[in-house]
Structure 1
């Protein structure tokens, strides 16, 4: 997967309000879904008749309460000093470049991603998409242009109406549930061909640049690779893809889940993020010399990831379930070692030509918000570059042989690290980090109220 900066020139260009109105009218769109991502990556927003949407573009009348960014994954709201009690409205400014059809509806419907801004045009600092924009602006000031390509793993599962029961793999075309490891199995993927045909059709209709589809090592576990591109566009696509994949699966009566660890005894699901930095002026990859060697800037980027990922863990492993994935010998990193062509490390350098030199951050989970996962990974590397940090010695052996966990193993530990991560908070925005921690602590408190089946099985009559 070469990393570069070229754009897909086959897409229709929608750059401004005039283009957007024409696009909607040409397709006879009747409704528009106006969306923002909340902290968990859930799409929040409003569905508006097209005529009202067009009428509201000029006077910026599309509004939502700012408190949606203080909403937890359970739908509760946090008690936060930043948000206060009066719940003021913010403006949703649609980004014309993100408009797409919604291909699973019979009625012609569009979806568009919005930026959350105040009435004076200033960005709402707690909105995840704005957090990524903030980080990208720092790179732009240096003349650096990040390029990213995520790989997102997910599981297919039979419908699970009662959450007290464990998930089960779905039944494929052969009439059986998949139980064996089928890494890279072609026939194993073909068991669910109708779902993936819908997925590809839906993605093509939305101009989502997905590339390779492979079967991963878990039962009914799949990975989708995205083409490389500009981080904001790729984050938008990943945000939309999760929704798209769920809809494609539901059409066939099963679930697609991006939980980090949905099945007991199976590997977890990751969101590996390939990233490189090119010159804004020349497009040259700044991670490799003309002779194809690692540059000092590349090594400093790796060092930044090594130093700050443990502090950033709550952003890329955001849920209590996320830490079930971070275990030895389950294809998930437990440390921040780095190495060339080494899948046991957290930071892998894939074999590539000079222009494709990149680092693969293998730590983030599939359950992470794509905007925040990409923003966080770039932020760690950025701090490493501006501070001229030096990485540890390259790991050439099996990183799992090191018994020490360099990464937090529980959400509360990760939040404790983030609380004291001064440099990281400065790059991401102190207000955002404060509210994000409030949201995650509120979710953890809700989790603590639940008694698990393990507790009932082993403690109820034995202690």
Structure 2
């Protein structure tokens, strides 16, 4: 450990870093932590945070007291947060030379905190390693650029680009539409390069000023860290250019939602061979089992892919998001798409996660569903040829309430991730939903005010 910390110290000193953002991810994916002068950071070799940070809702509130004290020590004790020297990134938009360091969380005996999203992903990755397997993932992040607004009741609007006009109509894959925001994306790419993020392509998506960034395939934990850093970076680049970037799943009425598509495959740790393909290049039994696991368990763990009431607006009828766990080759109307590829690159694309999902938990859940399928030998349904949007045999829960009920009763999830994590996550999301239900919407005022 001391050698690793020495390497981290050298990295910070070589770059003349004066401040360190020490952060962890809460259940929502919000970066929480402390900002410390570099000397203090190196002296303390970590930080302490109340364990209750992991039970905060997206509004900053906490779960009900009876649940809170059942899950946490009534004394509101601290957890020990230790820096991961492999998760250190520059903060290129900061005025002073600054780095952000992602931390892992432990109790005072050195045991990993089981409510930590990063620890949940590490737990799933160990399951794979124990079988001699290594998952490979490639995320695709969709998001919108919008005009800045200080009024949350006011619908979001497309921003003004270089032409001086806001975008209208569908501009899927348009180079010119993406070029409207060239100065912003030049900063974003420069900053991501300074952070050594593994970005691949930029695509203009269907919605007005809706974009997609693809990441190069790689190791799951490192890419979850990178998504966490990228979301912060993208928001900062947008603010610099007087627009906003949002990763809400459905930010604009009647426009497509934003997803976090997860391409995943598995290689043998010894040989490096993709275990999803047989020697003759055909689909392996393990590949079909992996899909079978995704089909069976995604509906049980859907809140890890669709964590907010807004997430479920992506799944409304007549949207471009699949609302099923059907699978098929080269078929974007199914929830589980198998892209055309050579045998070594055979993979499945989970198209159900929203861009608002916590990347650690979404990747962990997607890999866990496939893992259970492989170890239990689950068989998938017949693959779909043609349009699958209207298929109803393998549909998902359509409300956050139904999804949380199913997740809370999922015995397989309890077996692999522990009841404490399930109870905590469900409690946080239920507390958020109760908060949401207290707000009177503009729809209610528009159609009910003088009509009922």
TM-score (norm 1): 0.95
Query: 2:29 maps to what in 1?
Result: 41
**Deviates further, 112-121 or 64-73:** 112-121
Q: Deviations over 1:26-64 (max 9, x none)?
A: 11111100000001100000000011111111xx5x100
- The one-character-per-residue Cα deviations of 1:13-37 (angstroms, maximum 9, x if unpaired) are x981111011111111111000000
Task: Report the equivalent of 1:118.
Answer: 107
CA distance in 2, matches of 1:331, 1:180: 15
2:200 to 211, 233, 240: 211
Determine if the alignment matches structure 1 residue 164 to structure 2 residue 153: yes
Of 74-83 and 183-192, deviating more is: 74-83
Do 1:380 and 1:424's aligned partners in 2 also have CA atoms closer than 8 Å?
Answer: no
> Residue deviations 1:233-272, cap 9 Å, x none?
0000011110010000000111000000000110000000
Q: Which structure 2 residues correspond to residues 9-408 of structure 1 after superposition, within 5 A?
A: 16-57=4-45, 60=46, 62-79=47-64, 80=68, 81-403=70-392, 406-408=395-397
Question: Which structure would you say has the larger RCO, counting Cα contacts within 8 Å and 6 or more residues apart?
Answer: 1
2:438 corresponds, among 409, 425, 449, to 449
- Deviation string for 1:304-362 (max 9, x for gaps)? 00000001111110000000001234220111100000000000000001110000000
Question: 1: distance between equivalents of 2:420 and 2:408?
Answer: 12
The answer to whether the 8 A contact 1:70-1:83 is kept is no
- Match of 2:377, SS? coil
Q: Distance in 2 between matches of 1:51 and 1:249?
A: 31
Give 5+ residue unaligned stretches, structure 2.
Answer: none
Distance in 1 of aligned mates of 2:133 and 2:106: 26
Distance in 2 (CA, whole Å) between partners of 1:394 and 1:365 is: 23
Q: CA deviation at 1:83?
A: 1.6
Deviation at 1:404, TM superposition (A): 5.6
Q: How many residues align?
A: 447
The alpha-carbon deviation at position 160 of structure 1 amounts to 1.4
| Cα drift, residue 400 of structure 1 | 1.4
TM-score, normalised relative to structure 2: 0.97
Query: Residue 418 of structure 1: SS of its match in structure 2?
Result: helix
What is the CA distance between 1:442 and its match in structure 2?
A: 0.3
Q: After TM superposition, what 4+ stretches of structure 1 lie above 4 angstroms from structure 2?
A: none
CA contact (8 A) 1:78 1:439 kept: yes
Q: What's the C-alpha RMSD, in Å, of the aligned pairs? A: 1.2
Residues 326 and 394 of structure 2 are in contact (CA less than 8 Å); yes or no, is this contact kept in structure 1? no
> Shift of the alpha carbon at 1:99?
1.1
